[in-house]
Amino acid sequence: MSIGDLGGIGFEIALSAHEEAKKVACPLYCVSPEMARRAAALLGRSLPSDFECVGQEAAFEIQPGCVSAQAGAASYASFTQALELSVEGRADAVVTLPIHKAAWAAAGVKYKGHTDYLRDRFRTEAIMVLGKPGFYVALFTDHIPLRKVCDRIQAGSLEAFLLQLARSVEAGPIGVLGLNPHAGDGGVLGDEERSIEAAIAAANHALGAARFEGPLIPDAAFLPRVRSRYPFLVAMYHDQGLAPLKALYFEEAINVTLGLPIVRTSVDHGTAFDIAYRGQNPSIRSYLNALGATKALLA
């Protein structure tokens, strides 16, 4: 378990869910025993005797709800340690709790988040997928500024993305969202859909089957009658896919990274600095769902 930013809700979730987590896995927490004790003390709780901590980060003062370079460095160290334990075969998989991107930046970490690091570490175009069993959203572009999205939508690169997604999942058909309002209205509202259409046609031809359909009209794709047809949707950019997904399934959705040589899942929420260490009892549902998905992926 990569413990996430100690200024946020990640540690409280891990501690609250520990007994349930043990029913699914043998959790190994990448946080030092001293920092685990400090975080538990801030929560007015004690650590269970079997809360196994393996981190080695230097001790620092936890600042609840604040961006901290020390917390950013510690969360980055926790994540990289968890990955190496998995790569070395000392752990079966990695489950990540939320980091804060500004804290990583303050610590001098060059990566914007988990997925960027994973792509670099494993030299693969890892795919960010979020959702729940029966309905997932894959992101063609994820953590980039919105103004850069249009330039990324090229038929060749989108075709390669679709083919990698098809190799990673068996479910189908897979719906591909357009970029523009009304999926461009035949070019009246934008012509990026022509590239999307070309990528879909090329990917289906390469696969010898109509695995992908679209471009779908984005503002209608999440309606029940539409999403019931598609176990997967491909969104062109982060908020196009995740704003409606989180409106529908915020507490239960998870994050899965496809295209890696290891299994990595995550919660589908952030650090929630506004409620961290304030006795708000943050939901553990996404975390437990991530553990359940991990077990299924390893089966």
User: Which among 169, 217, 175, 209 has a CA at the least distance from the CA of 193?
Assistant: 217
Taking Cα atoms as reference points, which of 246, 239, 256, 237 lies closest to residue 297?
A: 256
CATH number at 255 reads 3.40.718.10
Residue 118 in contact with residue 126, Cβ under 8 Å? yes
pLDDT of residue 170: 87
Q: What pLDDT is attached to residue 106?
A: 98
pLDDT at 139: 97
Tokens, residue 256? 């899965």
Per-residue pLDDT for the chain (299 aa), expressed as one digit of tens each?
999 999 999 999 999 999 999 999 999 999 999 999 999 999 999 999 999 999 999 999 999 999 999 999 999 999 999 999 999 999 999 999 999 999 999 999 999 999 999 999 999 989 999 999 889 999 999 989 999 999 999 999 999 999 999 999 988 799 999 999 999 999 999 999 999 999 999 999 999 999 999 999 999 999 999 999 999 999 999 999 999 999 999 889 999 999 999 999 999 999 999 999 999 999 999 999 999 999 999 98
Same-domain pairing of 137 and 178: yes
Phi, psi of 121 (to 5 degrees): -65, -40
pLDDT of 30: 98
pLDDT at position 299 is 86
- The pLDDT value recorded for residue 171 is 81
66 plus 213 within the same structural domain: no
Q: What is residue 281's predicted lDDT score, i.e. its pLDDT?
A: 94
CB atoms within 10 A of CB 83: 23
Q: Are residues 120 and 264 in the same domain?
A: yes
What is the extent of the structural domain holding 234?
126-259
Q: Are residues 73 and 164 in the same domain?
A: no
Phi and psi for 214 in degrees, rounded to 5?
145, -170
Whether residues 243 and 147 share a domain: the answer is yes
134 in the same domain as 255: yes
Q: What is the secondary structure of 86-150 as a DSSP string?
A: HHTTSSS-EEEPPP-HHHHHHTT---SSHHHHHHHHHTS--EEEEEETTEEEEESS-SS-GGGHH
Does residue 200 share a domain with residue 133?
yes
Q: In terms of domains, do 276 and 251 share one?
A: no
Please state, in angstroms and rounded to a whole number, the distance separating the CA atoms of residues 105 and 67. 10
Together in a domain, 102 and 167: no
Helix, coil or strand: residue 232: strand
Q: How many domains does the chain have?
A: 2
The answer to whether 126 and 259 have CB atoms below 8 angstroms apart is yes
Q: Are residues 146 and 212 in the same domain?
A: yes
- Could you tell me the two tokens for 189? 């509202």
Residues sharing a CB contact under 8 Å with residue 257, sequence separation 6 or more, in sequence order: 114, 115, 118, 126, 127, 128, 129, 264, 265, 266
User: Do residues 114 and 91 both lie within one domain?
Assistant: yes
Whether 48 and 135 map to the same domain: the answer is no
